Chains A and B, each alone.
Chain A
Amino acid sequence: MQAPPQTLYVRLTWSDVVTGEGRELIAPLPVSFGRTDENTVVLNSNKVSRRHALLKAQDGQVILEDLQSKNGTYVNQDRITQVSLPSGAGFQIGPFHFIATVEPAPLRQASAQSSPPAQPLDRATAFSQSFLGRLKDIPPGESTLLFNPVIGNLTPLAPKSPVEEALPLGGLHRTIIPMREVYSSQLPVMETTYLAVGGGIGSFTWADHLRIYGVPANQITALGLEPLPIGRYQRLCRNSQIPGYERLRSNSDSCPDNIWGWPSYGLREIWNALRQGKVAEAARVAMQVFGEPVITDTYTPRSGDVFRAVEREVRRIGWDRIFRYGRALAVRKTDDGRYVVAYTLTNERGQSLQQFAVARYVHLAMGYPGIRILDDIQEYRERTRDVQHAVNAYEEHDHVYAHLLKHGGVVMVRGRGIVASRVIQRLYEVRQQNKDVVIMHLHRSPVPVGHQDGRARRTVINHVELQPFNWPKACWTGSMRLRLERADDQERDQLLNDWGGTTTADRRDWQRIAKQGLQEGWYQIYFGEVRRLERTVREQLLTQISTGKPNQPEIALTTDFIIDCTGLTASLENNSFLKDMVDCYHVGLNPKGLLKVSNDFEVMGMGNGPGRVYASGVMTLGGPHAAVDSFLGLQFAALRSVEDLLAQHAPGINPLTPIRSFSQWLRWARGVQP
């Protein structure tokens, strides 16, 4: 045996199972994987053994060895004990999918560090250690398209970093702002009791709960960029090919227009069908609601029905009196136990005007700051300025389908979530009219086994995990919700890793399309890591992929279009308002790097005497609730925070006794204001 002449380095890339944020590690071999802190890569999952696997160098090759783990290490489809891993190959440990590439030794010592000497660490420090020095997040902004802060739309080549705007009062440097400074600033000051920052569905559900609990509309203010709280959501739906008649991935009794969730959308659809005399249609829906998800596919509401219902509730609670146009810049505590939010609005001449909103109770629900776009596509778009051929599914991209309908062509779909499934269905619809459409579905790595939790395992079909909704159903109201709520930070991180991951709905029509396409050859599945994206002389896109297979390490696919279905970005860094708040008050973050909230969704560390800051939505992911970005998750967060306000005797909020609850529901049913 001779010692290797030079230490081998590997670059490991993977994504956070829950947030999808990219992670990267460049390290010298050996690299160990496991649940405990002595490993190079600490993986917090119940399905990862304490010492799970080892990546080591042997005769100049990279060897992946399973350390007799309980749940195994997988390469492609196979559970392995020890294999030679070609550069660019993927492997799976528990819920984590890695790609390992051999790297030249880095010049700077900073990005790589040999295993530190074992030392006793408490859990929290050890956890932080696993993210210090040895790991690095792929910098945010590199692969995201942010929503335009002024108009709220996506811009295809938007500046990478959020727009920085000078804050009023000389930068709001102090943590406590005296109110007399706010008043003497000469800027308009709006005083309210309840201030919702965001103006989207999260703000709306909070305002809806406040209104129904008894707060008059003139005591609530919502700051946002769209007059309709569902505006952005609606646009993202439309862009990702969910027009009004298509169905959302949402449960029948998740009703953002009705805090009780009854009558459910299923019941309303049955009722409407009966009223129109469509008995067969009503029976079909009833059968689906009854049989889901065992006998029939899960019932989901039509997007148009949900939007119409929300618009009705928007009018009912007086949202027009609640909503104010404005982009929130920063929040500060005031010296009288309240909060001041600096915001801007743009006038017709394009000037931005700064104003202040002052409130005792603030709710933050600002949603996803942008969409995620794959690195190579972002790089290609910036290099070629071509935003027509390589698109993101959340951007407007109807021209792709129009072109395919007319001329046919080859489309590459990337990503394996619900959006990818819907895009493939849309392409199939185009193909019904033009047979010259071919779909190439590119995945980074295969999915040999689904996530596991206890005795249950998630189904995998065509390398996509199936689940009716974006989290297991019991995460909303059942045992899993309670389990997560009772867990501490570390256990929550572990549970979310085990339950999370990209999934799509178990829809028979989608599976039929995939099966037919695979048989007839117009739907193909490829695996590999994209090296580079080029434009050919014939105006096509050439994707160079390293497959990690020894017999065919590189392939190149030529397509007319690429549709990136990777999803939305949940990075706090991309939200300048929240980042400022975190930096100013050293607000704690949860293990997912997002806002740490109490079980009542209060932002920890932002209390100011009687004043409270609450949050809901994706920026609280990693906390007491899993499905924070769903309709019902937003309603749950709103309910918990309003109940917490009730316990503090916040003005205008009265207990919702069964009788009051019923009479409020009657008001809802009659369309009368709360």
Chain B
Amino acid sequence: MTPTLPGRWQIRVFLLTTLGLIISLPVSLVVGNVVPLFVLLYVLLFGLAWDVIYQFITSYRWDRDWPTSFQVAAGIIEGALVWGLILTKKLPGIPAAPPFIVFLVQYGVIWLSIFVLTQGPLRVFWLKWRYQGGQWFVSRGIQAGEPTHQQQPSPALQIAGRYNHRQPSPPQVVRPSNPDPRQGLAGLQAVQPYVCACGFVFDSSVGKFCSRCGRPKLQP
């Protein structure tokens, strides 16, 4: 899975607020204060900014990918920054640095579980997730940009290549089908033309749908 920026953000927010919280709460109970919860909050907040930097780095890579080794390096750098800021004692909510081992276990376990989950198991639950660059939610606007399903693209303009030599066929009136050859020409009947909303004219006795645009035929 090659993440997009919204994908990175969604993974971070979703996994830290669920899995991250599940891991941080027991740690918080063990040490008896809320510092681990604040650590989690800062990892989340700084991470949102880190993700912008990561995505910028990928733009220098031809494949626009994010190798596993980069993911590991990013985890170490992110952790080091948060720990460094904790040591300054200037982070609101963290008046004194917790023992390093507590931070290491909390951060390490959270990071490792996210790493493992994003490497694959998440896809088992959300099939589309990986194709969307790690996004669960894709804005509707993108999908709304699609052309109408059955609209026939106008052949004259949109066709390129060798087919652009061909003239679009004029609207045609289809003769009623004549499965029995013995009837011969005498079997031909007058045709009731049907004009579809798309402008296509065809024999009203044939089919329930317009053969050009696929609209259902309206009963007179």
Q: Which residues of A contact B (CB under 8 A)?
A: 124-125, 127-128, 131-132, 137, 174-176, 178, 180-181, 184, 253, 259-264, 267, 289-295, 333-337, 450, 453-459, 467-468, 472-474, 476-482, 485-486, 489, 573, 582, 585-586, 588-593, 596, 598-600, 602, 604-605, 607-609, 612, 636, 639, 643, 656, 658, 661-662, 665
Contacts of B5 in A (CB 8 A): 479
Contacts of B211 in A (CB 8 A): 175-176, 333, 585, 608
Interface centre among B59, B62, B120, B130 (most CB of A within 10 A): B62
User: B-side binding surface: helix, strand, loop or mixed?
Assistant: loop
Contacts of B152 in A (CB 8 A): 586, 588, 604-605
Q: Select one of B120, B161, B168 contacting A137, CB under 8 A.
A: B161
How many angstroms from the CA of A593 to the CA of B126 in the assembled complex? 35
Contacts of B3 in A (CB 8 A): 478
Chain B nearest CB from A454 CB (Å) reads 6
Q: Select one of B60, B62, B149 contacting A467, CB under 8 A.
A: B62
Q: Select one of A124, A294, A478, A662 contacting B158, CB under 8 A.
A: A124
Q: A181-B177, A582-B163 are in contact. Are A477 and B130 (CB under 8 A)?
A: yes
User: B128 at the A/B interface (Cβ < 8 Å)?
Assistant: yes
Chain A nearest CB from B191 CB (Å) reads 13
How many angstroms from the CA of A282 to the CA of B70 in the assembled complex? 22
Q: Select one of B67, B125, B143, B206 contacting A178, CB under 8 A.
A: B206
The residue on A at minimum CB distance from B55 is A479
User: B95 at the A/B interface (Cβ < 8 Å)?
Assistant: no
Contacts of A175 in B (CB 8 A): 174, 211
When A and B form their complex, which 3 residue pairs have the shortest distance between CB atoms, in order from nearest? Answer: A478-B2, A607-B150, A593-B161
* 15 more A-B residue pairs beyond the given contacts A259-B127, A582-B163, with a C-beta to C-beta distance below 8 A: A128-B157, A131-B161, A178-B179, A181-B177, A260-B120, A336-B207, A472-B65, A477-B132, A478-B4, A478-B65, A588-B158, A589-B161, A593-B160, A605-B212, A608-B211
A to B CB contacts below 8 Å, 21 in the list: A176-B174, A259-B127, A289-B68, A336-B208, A467-B62, A472-B63, A473-B65, A478-B1, A479-B2, A573-B162, A585-B211, A589-B161, A596-B153, A605-B153, A607-B213, A609-B209, A636-B131, A643-B128, A656-B127, A658-B125, A665-B124
Q: A467-B62, A593-B162 are in contact. Are A598 and B128 (CB under 8 A)?
A: no
Interface centre among A458, A582, A586 (most CB of B within 10 A): A586
Question: In B33-77, which residues have CB < 8 Å from any A CB?
Answer: 55, 58-65, 67-70, 72
Across the interface, do B133 and A477 meet the contact criterion of CB distance under 8 Å? yes
- Give the interface size bracket for B toward A: 35 or more
How many angstroms from the CA of A27 to the CA of B26 in the assembled complex? 77
Could you give, for residues 125-159 of chain B, a 1 whenever the CB lies within 8 Å of some chain A CB and a 0 otherwise? 11110111100000000110111011111010111
Q: Select one of B55, B68, B70, B120 contacting A267, CB under 8 A.
A: B120
Contacts of A176 in B (CB 8 A): 174, 202, 206-207, 211
Question: In B201-220, which residues have CB < 8 Å from any A CB?
Answer: 202, 206-209, 211-214, 216
Across the interface, do B64 and A479 meet the contact criterion of CB distance under 8 Å? yes
Chain A nearest CB from B76 CB (Å) reads 14
Across the interface, do A454 and B65 meet the contact criterion of CB distance under 8 Å? no
Q: A336-B208, A479-B133, A481-B133 are in contact. Are A593 and B60 (CB under 8 A)?
A: no
How many angstroms from the CA of A264 to the CA of B120 in the assembled complex? 8
Q: Select one of A180, A477, A489 contacting B2, CB under 8 A.
A: A477
Q: A593-B161, A604-B147 are in contact. Are A609 and B208 (CB under 8 A)?
A: yes
